[in-house]
Chains A and B, each alone.
Chain A
Amino acid sequence: AQRVTQPEKLLSVFKGAPVELKCNYSYSGSPELFWYVQYSRQRLQLLLRHISRESIKGFTADLNKGETSFHLKKPFAQEEDSAMYYCALLTGTASKLTFGTGTRLQVTL
């Protein structure tokens, strides 16, 4: 069965420091992975997807099939990056998403 693991519940970094939010997955099919973000008192929204290979708000994520990972990175954290981040795996033909447990990123001065 598919599974998404985010090992850190909380990641606290200083402003300007690099950020890496970890995500590992297990899935027998061809994986399609996403990062979603939820800012305080706001709804969940898509941050980026691996097939787009894009950088959004300075964040990037590379799919590593060998390590079954899709870590989210940003070289210099900003205060406005503080939020809850969820890694998600698209499974099957029904466009269903399996979410990880989320990591709260806290950027402090």
Chain B
Amino acid sequence: GAVVSQHPSWVICKSGTSVKIECRSLDFQATTMFWYRQFPKQSLMLMATSNEGSKATYEQGVEKDKFLINHASLTLSTLTVTSAHPEDSSFYICSALGNEQFFGPGTRLTVL
């Protein structure tokens, strides 16, 4: 199947700083990518739909100014957590839409 990568796989940052997470589709082009958040022992919660060349669509309750999404090419979407705080600590997973959603391995963010 198709491969989706995420970088970094884990990151630790100080409160108040911004963190960028990359999601790449390695062997196919994806007009649409998705960003999820997963709390420990909980399900994946869709945060936003990232559309190449246009603005992301955010789910209800997700702050667009907090979680900036850029989908500048057909193989790359980025999620920037701005002014991160400890409550933003979580596991962030992206997926890229081909003939199905292909998931990345996830990025663990820890905000101190």
In the complex, A44 has a CB within 8 A of chain B: yes
In the complex, B27 has a CB within 8 A of chain A: no
Number of interface residues of A (CB under 8 A): 16
User: Looking at chain B, what size class is its interface with the partner chain?
Assistant: 20 to 34
The reply to whether B1 and A86 contact each other, CB–CB distance below 8 Å, is no
The reply to whether A100 and B43 contact each other, CB–CB distance below 8 Å, is yes
Report which residue of A43, A45, A99 has the largest number of chain B beta carbons within 10 angstroms of its beta carbon. A43
Partner of B103, one of A45, A49, A94: A45
Q: Mark B34-60, 1 if CB is under 8 A from A, else 0.
A: 100000001111100100000001000
In the complex, B93 has a CB within 8 A of chain A: yes
The reply to whether A94 and B105 contact each other, CB–CB distance below 8 Å, is no
Cα–Cα distance between A100 and B44 once the two chains are bound (Å)? 8
Total number of A-B contacts with CB less than 8 angstroms? Answer: 38
**By DSSP majority rule, is chain B's interface helix, strand, loop, or mixed?**
strand
In the complex, A97 has a CB within 8 A of chain B: yes
The reply to whether A96 and B34 contact each other, CB–CB distance below 8 Å, is yes
Which residues of A are found within 8 Å of B104, using beta-carbon distances? 43
The reply to whether B43 and A95 contact each other, CB–CB distance below 8 Å, is no
* Chain B interface (Cβ < 8 Å from any Cβ of A): 1, 4, 32, 34, 42-46, 49, 57, 93, 95, 97, 100-101, 103-106
* Chain A interface (Cβ < 8 Å from any Cβ of B): 42-46, 49, 86, 94-102
**10 closest A-B pairs by CB:** A44-B103, A101-B43, A43-B105, A99-B43, A99-B44, A43-B103, A46-B100, A95-B97, A102-B43, A94-B49
| 16 A-B interface contacts by CB (under 8 A) | A43-B93, A43-B104, A43-B105, A43-B106, A44-B93, A45-B103, A49-B100, A94-B49, A95-B32, A95-B101, A96-B34, A96-B46, A97-B34, A98-B46, A99-B43, A99-B45
